[in-house]
């Protein structure tokens, strides 16, 4: 029965890695990112698992077999899983949580303040766009998706 978590964790880990790779491929190399609460989230998810793994490995009367493997996979899964409010601006697109879009696939966009705002599945959201990158990002956006620029002004 201890093998059941292992058979659930391995496909979950593969799915998370595939979704992350797909989103990263859509956005390209990272220019700016906001990951609010990243370390708190990792501490709350990974910390208890790491403590339990340490307990299992340090105690000689416990067998460090499948339980330790499951904990290690759970730690890795907790470490790499994105949060829904993670926001990344890349050279070729954007990532918001699990979703990655190329600039040419954005429904509508606008550069305002220090953010690139865009429509994602019918809802406006934003990723950081530092002033140092704005002219370059605007140039890329206009070239890739000029008709997507929003007429709305803040």
Q: Residue 35's closest CA among 95, 77, 112?
A: 95
Separation in Å, CA 15 to CA 18, 21, 74: 5, 10, 13
Tokens of 132: 């140092």
φ, ψ (nearest 5 deg) of residue 115: -135, 150
Predicted structure pTM score? 0.81
Asked whether the beta carbons of 99 and 138 are under 8 A apart, the reply is: no
Mean pLDDT, consecutive 10-residue segments, the chain of 154 residues? 79 94 94 94 94 86 76 93 93 94 93 90 92 92 90 64
Q: What local confidence, expressed as pLDDT, does residue 121 receive? A: 85
């Amino acid at each position: 029965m201890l093998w059941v978590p292992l058979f659930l964790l391995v496909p979950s880990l593969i799915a998370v890695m595939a979704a992350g790779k797909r989103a990263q491929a859509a956005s390209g190399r990272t220019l700016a990112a906001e990951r609010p609460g990243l370390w708190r989230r990792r501490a709350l998810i990974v910390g208890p698992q790491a403590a339990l793994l340490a307990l299992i490995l340090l105690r000689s009367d416990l067998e460090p077999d499948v339980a330790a493997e499951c904990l290690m996979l759970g730690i890795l899964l907790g470490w790499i899983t994105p949060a829904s409010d993670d926001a990344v601006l890349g050279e070729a697109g954007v990532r918001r949580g699990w979703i990655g879009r190329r600039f040419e696939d954005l429904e509508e966009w606008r550069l305002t303040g220090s953010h690139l705002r865009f429509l994602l599945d019918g809802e406006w959201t934003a990723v950081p766009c530092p002033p140092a990158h704005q002219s370059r990002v605007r140039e890329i956006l206009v070239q890739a998706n000029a008709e997507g620029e929003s007429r709305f002004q803040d």
